[in-house]
Each structure stands twice: as structure tokens, then as C-alpha cells.
A and B are shown apart, each in its own frame.
Chain A
Amino acid sequence: MKVLVSIKRVIDYNVKVRVKADHSGVDLANVKMSMNPFCEIAVEEAVRLKEKGVATEIVVVSIGPSTAQEQLRTALALGADRAILVESAEDLTSLAVAKLIKAVVDKEQPRLVILGKQAIDSDNNQTGQMLAALSGYGQGTFASNVEISGDSVAVTREIDGGEQTVSLKLPAIVTTDLRLNEPRYASLPNIMKAKKKPLEVVTADALGVSTASTNKTVKVEPPAARSAGIKVKSVAELVEKLKNEAKVI
């Protein structure tokens, strides 16, 4: 069974985000970039499926600038077999990304596509669901467990108030949540081996996909800052303040 994993290059999880002075966006110059944490979980899940003998080949795809090859090499070092970069310098919307991945799905015909549930930059939480709609496949979003059996996959999902399990016919789309697995680190020998694995670069134009958007970002501002209050000396003082000053209890 072929598994396709989609990953995104984003600002590193630990970097303090700064909004540009002209409010045109977030300052990404000379900032550390990494694989989106939810995408790391997606790669890990695919590798585990291969280790279990369920997956036979893992293809990893990224839609982004040429520098996203770094993150694709990371995925190859973690256990993916080959990589595809759909190169695009533009800032694409989730719908455009979903359409580009759909073009790759049409070509590669995977039985399972695994994506992160959301990217920590745009925080859209859309791409997997949109890809599922465009492909006409079932979707198991916010997955905490994935079990393949025969022609279907059972996905346990994190929902408000607990968990839900759905069964989807293959091929299907899965998006990862935090508890699905704990991603491994790439070993040095695997990082060296990854350099020799195939990495194909194609352009969005070559896939014949329109990336036109109905959304326009007008401006990006820093959030209203919340200022620090006071330190109380005791529990008794805290309770007094909550009752008489804040009047919330």
C-alpha cells in the first residue's frame, strides 16, 4: 500500500513571532524554519505503518518554496522513500494547496494520505478536509489512532468532549492530532542516506492547477497585549481580591 504524506515548512515552534512594522505580515527573515509539528506526526505515522508491513512505499510531498527541500530531506531521513516538491514562491491558501496535492494524488494513486491537522503559521485547519472533498474520499480528521484493515481504515478522532471512531473506505485522508504518536529523531546515518533518496521538483503550473484565491489578507497586526496585574501575598488576599475587587466569585 502506497502512503502519501504532505508536509509544510513553517516558522519553528520555538521562535518568537514578530509582526512586520508595515503590518504586511510576519517577519520571516533569518528566522529558523522547521517541519510543521503536526506534519512530523504524519510522517511518523506513515513510517510506523511501513514498519508494521502495512505500507510498502512512503511518498512525501510539500508545496512551498525551494527551501522546503530541507524539510523533505528531513522526512526522507525519518523513513520516507521519495519526495516531491511542488515549488511555489507565493503564499498559497489552503484550497490552492489542496488542489495541488490532489494533482499529486491523481498521479501517485496512494491508498492513504496523511496530513497534519493544521499548520502552526496560518492555523487554518482546512487542507486535509478540502483534499478529501476534492478527491471524493472519506476523511478522518484530528486522528489519535489509525488502524488499517483490508479495504478500510478505522480512525479514532479527538472531538469536543472525548473520542469518536469512524470507518472509512480506502483510499482515505487522515489528519493528525497530537496524541497519535511521538515522532522520532532522525539518526545521523539516516540523514546521510536521505541525501541519496530521490527528490523530484515540479512547478504548480506544470500540474495545471489554478491557485487563484477568493481571500485577501488586508493587514497583519500584533494582538492587543494583556498587561501583568499584581502579585498577592497569600491565598486569603487572593480570595479577598476575587470577591471584592474582581467580583468573579
Chain B
Amino acid sequence: MTILVIADYSNGAHDQKVLAPATLNTVAAAAKIGGDIHVLVAGQGAGAVAEAAAKIAGVAKVLVADNAAYAHQLPENVAPLVAELSAGYSHILAAATSNGKNILPRVAAALNVDQISEIISVESADTFKRPIYAGNAIATVQSNAAVKVITVRATGFDPVAAEGGSAAVEAVGAAHDAGISSFVGEDLAQSDRPALTSAKIVVSGGRGLQNGDNFKHLYALADKLGAGVGASRAAVDAGFVPNDMQVGQTGKIVAPQLYIAVGISGAIQHLAGMQDSKVIVAINKDEEAPIFQVADYGLVADLFEAIPELEKLV
């Protein structure tokens, strides 16, 4: 059995490409399945990503498809490449990041197999668990496909070590340029704070913050703690903060060591995005708020008094 993991990466500062941490969790899922693990890096000038991938513990080989068509990971071009490379692999895995979710179903359809989305555990080489109904139910799904196409929810698997491996790097793949899509531009939030999905501590705000300006209280607390900052869907819908801060079933799924929910009532769709956090703190003035039912530590208080005090004490 050989498993192909599609590496995800993002454009960091100065257009340097950085391997997405979720790739490490995806390799961890591949290791649970068992067998040789190969990693595909498709891109243009993504040599740094390939080098990083070769160092991942447990990776036997890194395949690099370096071509202008694969810059920006356009699914119209990357999916045919992955489909072409799929022969000989038992599983194709990608992290359930925006790139993974964009590309992998296109691969599955090209191979005429059903995809299994966002697995949170590996039961055996053909059986997996995944949340459905916004995490209100967990389905066990079995696949009889010759090549199993799977996206991996990062929070379900502890990442493998980023260092320690020394995989061979090999150039592969013809250029697949479908010529039907092109990259126009990107507007990435510039922030010195850790990314939500990999932060050890996350501070999130909800409708209780009342407006976008009040998020400054959370930023101050987050900077003191070295935390990432998230938000509930209510806060995003109200226009307080941008959508990429949304934590929840339709936003980002996080599982930090410490999650501090501030002014968040705890709608089921928000809980689906954070309930695997190790320790949950809820600060809300409504003592009936459902968030308290999942919180390890609840504080019924006015957040505008509690947050500055918390910032001082931590």
C-alpha cells in the first residue's frame, strides 16, 4: 500500500511559499492507515516547500511537479495531474484546507470514486469516521474504491514531526493546463499573530463584542497570550470582522490547548468548530448561554470589565 499526500502551502511574506502545518496532520492520518507515504508538491518555484516536505518524519518520497500551470494550485490544472499520478496508489489524501477542499473532489470525480470528506479518525485502511450534521453526528464510512480519495480534518490527528525525515525528491508529471481558469489576485490578511488553525491558544469574540472596534480588547489579550484571534459566525455576519476569522462548521475548525470564547452564546455551528479544544473558557454575561455547557471554566461577567482585567493578570 502506498499513500499519496497532496502538500498544501501558502504564500507567506515576500511571496515565499510555506508548507501548511495541516500537511503534517495529513501525513499523520496516512501513517495511521499504514504503508509508504509519498508527498506531492504541485506548484511553480515551490522548491522550499518540497525541501520542507522531504524533512517530514515518515515520508518516503517527495514528488515535485514544477510548472507555471500549477502556480496558485488551480484545481482545473492540479486535479488532472493528481489523477494521472494516482495509478499505483491505494489512497490519496489532502488536508481539508481551502486548497484541499477545492482540489480533491475534482480528483475523485476524475477517478469516478466517491470522496470521504474531513475524516477525524482512521478505523482501518478502508474505514473512517467523519462528522456530519455540523458535528451533531459521527458517521463511520467504508470505501471499496480502488483508490480512496480522502480529505483530513487536521484537528483529528496530532501532527507528525516536521523534521527528521530525509525523503528522496523526484520531479514528476506532465504539464496539465486546462486553459479555463487563471489567477487574478490574492488579498491575504497580514498578521503577526499565529494562524488560527495552528495556534496553541485561541481567543474568539462573538456578537457580545457589539462592534468591530471592540475586538481591540481581544487583540490586546491575544498578544499578551501569544494567541490567535477568531470569531463566531454572528460576529462575521454582523460585519465586525472578516470571514477568515470565523470559527465553526462553515468556517475554521480549531482544537487549541486553550480556547477562550468571549461574548459568544455557543450556537451549535460554532461549537462544531471548537469543541475538540483541550480547555475551553467561556466569558459571557448571560449565565444561560449554551457555551457554558461545553466550557471547562465559565465566568459570568461583563466582558468589557473582565477582558482588560484578564489581560492584566495573565
Contacts and interface: CB of A to CB of B under 8 A. Distances in A.
Interface of A: 11, 16-17, 19, 26, 93-95, 98, 118, 120-134, 136-139, 141-142, 144, 154, 157-169, 172, 177-179, 213-223, 226, 228-232, 234-236, 238-239, 241-242, 246, 248-249
B73 to A, nearest CB: 10
B201 A248 contact: yes
Q: How large is the interface on B (under 10, 10 to 19, 20 to 34, 35 or more residues)?
A: 35 or more
A126 B184 contact: no
A26 B141 CA distance: 15
Contacts of B104: 129
B61 to A, nearest CB: 26
A3 to B, nearest CB: 18
A37 to B, nearest CB: 9
Contacts of A218: 127, 140-142
B244 A230 contact: no
Contacts of A241: 297
Contact of A217 (B103, B140, B197, B246): B140
B169 interface: no
22 contacts: A19-B136, A125-B101, A126-B105, A126-B108, A127-B105, A130-B109, A154-B184, A158-B243, A160-B98, A161-B10, A163-B188, A167-B181, A178-B237, A178-B243, A178-B246, A215-B114, A220-B140, A223-B135, A228-B298, A231-B292, A246-B296, A249-B258
B142 A216 contact: yes
A141 to B, nearest CB: 5
B139 interface: yes
A165 B297 contact: no
Given A133-B109, A138-B76, A235-B313, A215 B186 contact: no
A248 B295 contact: no
B10 A94 contact: no
Interface in B264-294: 268, 275, 278-281, 287, 292-294
Interface in B207-247: 225, 233, 236-237, 242-244, 246
Contacts of B101: 125, 129, 141-142
Given A133-B110, A137-B180, A160-B97, 16 more contacts: A16-B268, A17-B133, A26-B133, A120-B249, A121-B132, A139-B75, A142-B98, A158-B243, A160-B195, A161-B195, A162-B189, A164-B72, A177-B250, A179-B243, A223-B131, A249-B201
